[in-house]
Amino acid sequence: MPNPSHQDINEELRQLQRDYIKKLPGRVTQLVEAWTSNLAQPKEETLQDIYRQAHTIAGTSGVLGIDEVSQAARAIEQVIKERESNDSLSAEETSAAQHSIDILRELSTSSEIKIREINLQRR
């Protein structure tokens, strides 16, 4: 069987990006649900869950070239990681995380989401 051409691989990567964007609203909804639950009843366990979800979205989006989503998720991750108290966020930390969650939610359902092409040409 011949090796796939760069064109084939590029198309496979583009398809992977498109499929990921379709999955993104569901993943963000899960994160928002955990966030809402934490606002109602702050718990260290829920904060850890939000941290893990934001970390995963940030990492995968970054690798797949969905950079704005990656940055918004990374900002949530950072706020939680650097929080002063283990089991809750301060008003300032809550506000910063909420801001990034709003951005993430908007981006995840936007039809104009920016996708950086994963180019096979070495730089």
Partner 1 sequence: MSHNESLERVLYIEDEEDIRIVADIALKTIGGLDTRCCASGPEGLATLETFPAQLILLDVMMPGMDGPSVLSEIRNNEQYQNTPIVFITAKVQADEVDQLLSLGANAVISKPFEPMDMAQKLKDIWEDFHRA
Residues that bind partner 1 (CB under 8 A): 3-4, 9, 12-13, 16, 20, 52, 55-56, 58-64, 70, 74, 77, 118-123
- Of 71 and 94, CB closest to partner 1: 71
Strands (E), 18-112: none
Spatial contact of 79 and 96, defined as CB atoms under 8 Å apart: yes
Shortest distance (Å) from residue 65 CB to partner 1: 9
- Tell me how far apart the alpha carbons of residues 11 and 17 are, in angstroms, rounded to a whole number: 10
Shortest distance (Å) from residue 91 CB to partner 1: 26
Shortest distance (Å) from residue 99 CB to partner 1: 20
- Of 43 and 81, CB closest to partner 1: 81
- Of 39 and 81, CB closest to partner 1: 81
Shortest distance (Å) from residue 3 CB to partner 1: 7
Q: Which of 81, 82, 60 is nearest to 69 (CA)?
A: 60
Q: Which of 115, 98, 109 is nearest to 25 (CA)?
A: 109
Give the residue carrying structure tokens 């994963």. Answer: 118
